[in-house]
Structure 1
Amino acid sequence: MRLLVAALESELVAFPADLPGFDRLVTGPGKLQATYALTRALDAGEYEEIVVVGTAGAIDPRLTHDVYEVGTAIQHDVTDIDGIVGQHVSLPQRVEIGDGEVAIATGDHFVDDAEAVQVIRPLGAGLVDMEAYAYAWVAGRFGVPIRILKSVSDRAQDDAHLSWQETVAACSAQLRDRIRRDYGV
């Protein structure tokens, strides 16, 4: 059995309530809720794979409104004791996930301004979200393989929250098509 994970129900609107071979988990937004909900789910059951689907803002202008598989997750809203942005005091700076084509920067706020993008982009990420690092870190602690698929919903700049609201259903449909293609369900 696999575990299909999303932060919000709206990211799953294109998915059937019952997807053969998958249990479903909606964690809530942000790193703490993601960590808590995924930890509880993995503590309660055994899964061969975690498949995360969701939306992300594109901070790399080369990324289009498409679905990308995440290969690396970092945190953009942490600073170590030396003041280095992107490095946590006790957690790894980067969590390697697999062969994905893009890195994602995770933080506990919705990125929607050019100044924030200018701070985050040098960390090496092409996408931003609010949960991927937490999901990847928890999966690693439990030794469960994870895939993170993100559909670009916005450009993480001026009024991105409005773009997200307008595109989340279309992003869900893109993600559903990808799951259908990759898993045959």
Structure 2
Amino acid sequence: MRLLVAAHASELVAFDGDLPGFDRLLTGVGKIPAAYALTRALDATTYEEIVVVGTAGAIDPDLEAGVYDIDATLQHDVKDLDGVIGQHISLPARVQVRAEGVTIATGDHFIDDADAVMAIRALGARLVDMESYAYAWVAGQFGVPIRILKAVSDRAQDGASDEWDDAALVCSGWLRGAIRELYGV
């Protein structure tokens, strides 16, 4: 059995009905709700794989609209004792998920500012979201393989938060198509 995970209900709108072979988990938005909900789910049941679907802002202008496999995640809203951004005091700077894909930066605030985009790009990420690091870290603690699929909902620039609701519905359709293609359900 696999676990299909999303942070926000809008990301699952196109996923009507049950998917054979998948349980479903809606975690809530942000790193702490994501970590808490996924930890509780994995503590209660053993899964062969976690499959995360969700939206992300593209901070790389070369990324086109569509769905991307995430290869690694990092945090853009932490710094270590020396003040190095992206480095946590006790957590790994980067959590590797797959051999190939796109790196995503996670933080607990919605990015819709050109200056923030430039700073986060400097960390090596091409997408930005609010949960992927937490999902990847928790999955690693439980030893469960994880696949993170993110659909580009916006360009993380001025006004992106105003457009997210409508974009999330479109992204849900793209994500549903990706699940159908990858898992045959």
TM-score (normalised: structure 2): 0.99
Q: How many residues align?
A: 185
Structure 2 SS opposite 1:123: coil
One-letter code aligned to 1:155: R
Structure 2 SS opposite 1:158: coil
Distance apart, 1:162 and its partner CA = 1.7
Query: What residue in structure 2 maps to residue 130 of structure 1?
Result: 130
Distance apart, 1:17 and its partner CA = 2.9
Give distance in 2, aligned partners of 1:149 and 1:161. Answer: 20
Identity within the alignment, %: 68
Question: 1:66-145, aligned counterparts within 5 Å?
Answer: 66-145=66-145
Give distance in 2, aligned partners of 1:158 and 1:56. Answer: 15
Structure 2 SS opposite 1:128: strand
Give distance in 1, aligned partners of 2:13 and 2:97. Answer: 26
Q: Deviations over 1:139-181 (max 9, x none)?
A: 0000000000000000001000122122111100000000000
Query: What residue in structure 2 maps to residue 37 of structure 1?
Result: 37
Distance apart, 1:69 and its partner CA = 0.3
Task: Indicate whether 1:184 and 2:175 are aligned.
Answer: no
TM-score (normalised: structure 1): 0.99
Distance apart, 1:101 and its partner CA = 1.4
Give distance in 1, aligned partners of 2:148 and 2:2. Answer: 13
Query: What residue in structure 1 maps to residue 9 of structure 2?
Result: 9
Task: Indicate whether 1:163 and 2:129 are aligned.
Answer: no
Aligned-CA RMSD value: 0.6
Tell me if structure 1 keeps the 8 A contact 2:7–2:29. yes
Give distance in 2, aligned partners of 1:175 and 1:122. Answer: 28
Tell me if structure 2 keeps the 8 A contact 1:68–1:100. no
Give distance in 2, aligned partners of 1:65 and 1:48. Answer: 30
Query: What residue in structure 2 maps to residue 18 of structure 1?
Result: 18
